[in-house]
Amino acid sequence: MARQAGHGDTEKRRRAHALGLSAENLAAWYLRLTGWRILKHRYKTRAGEIDLIAKRRKTVAFVEVKARRTRQAALEAVTPASQRRITRAAKIFVSQHARAGFYTLRFDIIVIRPWALPERIVNAFEARD
Q: What is the pLDDT of residue 98?
A: 85
> Residue 61: which H helix or E strand, with range?
strand 59-67
50 has a pLDDT exceeding 60: yes
**Domain positions in the chain:** 7-125
| pLDDT at residue number 128 | 76
Burial bucket for residue 1 (CB in 10 Å: 0-12, 13-18, 19+): exposed
Instruction: In whole angstroms, give the CA distance from residue 6 to residue 13.
Output: 11
> What is the distance, to the nearest Å, from the Cα of residue 117 to the centroid of all Cα atoms in its chain?
16
The pLDDT score that the predictor gives to residue 129 is: 72
For 7-125, the fitting CATH number among 3.40.50.970, 3.30.420.40, 3.40.1350.10, 1.10.420.10 is: 3.40.1350.10
3-36: pLDDT as tens digits: 455 567 888 888 776 767 789 999 999 999 999 9
| Residue 118 burial (CB count, 10 A) | 19
Q: Which of left, alpha, beta for 17 (phi over 0: left; psi -120 to 50: alpha)? A: alpha
Is residue 101 predicted with pLDDT exceeding 90?
A: no
Q: Where are the alpha helices (DSSP H) in 6-129?
A: 7-33, 71-77, 80-96
Report DSSP state, residue 112: E
What is the per-residue pLDDT across 55-91, written as a single tens digit (0 to 9) for each? 999 999 999 999 999 999 999 999 999 999 999 999 9
pLDDT of residue 124: 95
